[in-house]
Amino acid sequence: MIRFSPTETITDTFRTNELNPVNHKKDHNGRFYSISQSVKKQLFAGGGLPKEYKELSETLNGLSIMVRKPAIELITYLNKTNFDAPVTRYVLYGKTGSGKSVSMAHILHYGSSAGMVLVHVPWVPNWVRFPKDCTPSVIHPNKYDHPIQSVEWLKHFSTQNGPLMQKLELKTTENYAWSKRERTAAGSPLSELIDLGMNRAKYATNCVTALLGELKKAAVSKRCRVLVVIDGFNSFFSPKSRVQREDKSMVLPTEFVLTDAFLSLTRNDWNNGAIVVSVDASAHPSELRESPLPRYQLGKQGFEHLDPFIPIEVPNYSEKEFHSQIDYYIERNWLQQPKARTERGRAELSFTSGNHPLSLMKLVAPY
């Protein structure tokens, strides 16, 4: 058990100077590392940090992420991966608010630092429950496009991978016909495909599909290495959506072109990459939130799609992680009550929050 003096409990052991997540290991467990403003802007401008966490980082004038056991386990796997073998699927699971999205943000930073092309979906339910626009597909019969959100996703991809994509100089392997006049010829830079989608919302969803297919081929031919990171993956298999046809009948997520595209990418029929997804009860309707376990959250169809996969639980804070989090809040003057520096005060915070990360964040908030 970690013990503190009755009056003073802050230590200098809650931070690490190892800022490269590729090097994070067990020695860094429970310690915070800082992410520069430029990296934060590159990786998370289009999403990837929980709203409360992003707002807190802005309030505290800096983004820091705690190195936790689930991320260390995943980084260890990724560092030892045989990229000639079919892609391995990893599924992060745990209670809502336990830190899955923050662990995935850590893994995104890892992928970027390791020189991998990032294919990142910040939160699948945004396409299912909060569609900005959904129209019948211009190419696929009985399917539906997300024009506006596809444009946003392409911008997110471009921001995360811009410098790397310029360096890789990837080109299309197929001819794409968007209309009688508009085409993308084989051998064109992938940037042309991305630019077309960003400038022509009508074709954006199909540009996403084409881009993912091209990245898959590029990985197999060893022209790049791809890291797929999808938060709220189980929402692809949700029995409900807020998208309606003209006759008011519901469009299921399985009828989205984006669903087909990302399910194709998350099959293990390619190599030279890795796939990390999370499942979360909040990605489902309220009646499907009884268990956080992957089998329940994915359902039969989703579970069979990902099987075999490596499950990684994201639990509540350990005692060490709890004290590091409190030390961080105190250092940033977010938690100013003198009792928080005492063993008794911390015991109260631990008991009241249950060491649940989101509950603790809300509990110490000064408003």
- Backbone φ and ψ for 193, nearest 5 degrees, come out as -65, -45
Tokens 């063993």, residue located:
343
Question: Pairing relation of β-strands 310-313 and 88-93?
Answer: parallel
CA pair distance 207, 190, nearest whole angstrom: 10
**Other C-beta atoms lying within 10 Å of the C-beta of residue 173:** 12
Beta strands in the chain (DSSP E): 31-35, 63-67, 88-93, 117-121, 135-136, 144-145, 176-177, 183-184, 226-230, 273-278, 310-313
Structural domain includes residue 288: yes
- Please state, rounded to an integer, the average pLDDT across all residues of the chain: 93
Q: Give the domain extent around 331.
A: 319-362
283 and 178 within one domain: yes
Structural domain includes residue 291: yes
What confidence score (pLDDT) does residue 285 get?
83
220 and 335 within one domain: no
Structural domain includes residue 103: yes
Domain C-terminal end among 301, 333, 351: 301
Structural domain includes residue 37: no
CA pair distance 159, 116, nearest whole angstrom: 14
Residue 5 pLDDT grade (very low, low, confident, very high; cuts 50, 70, 90): very low
Structural domain includes residue 137: yes
Domain count, the chain: 2
Could you tell me what percent of the chain has a pLDDT over 90?
85
332 and 214 within one domain: no
Structural domain includes residue 313: no
What confidence score (pLDDT) does residue 366 get?
74
239 and 90 within one domain: yes
Integer angstrom CA distances of residue 296 from 72, 90, 125, 129, 284: 25, 16, 17, 20, 11
What confidence score (pLDDT) does residue 12 get?
60
Structural domain includes residue 214: yes
Does residue 175 have a pLDDT over 60?
A: yes
**Other C-beta atoms lying within 10 Å of the C-beta of residue 152:** 19
Mean pLDDT of all residues in 165-179: 95
Q: Which three-class secondary structure state does DSSP give residue 136?
A: strand
Closest CA to 86 of 237, 259, 219: 219
The set of residues, in sequence order, having a beta carbon less than 8 Å from that of 180 and lying 6+ positions away, is: none
327 and 189 within one domain: no
Closest CA to 178 of 215, 137, 213: 137
What confidence score (pLDDT) does residue 247 get?
87
Structural domain includes residue 284: yes
Does residue 246 have a pLDDT over 90?
A: no
Integer angstrom CA distances of residue 226 from 44, 112, 185, 269: 18, 10, 23, 14
Residue 11 pLDDT grade (very low, low, confident, very high; cuts 50, 70, 90): very low
Mean pLDDT of all residues in 124-149: 93
339 and 193 within one domain: no
**Residue 318 DSSP one-character state:** P
- pTM assigned to the model: 0.93
Closest CA to 182 of 207, 163, 162: 207
Strand partners, 310: 90
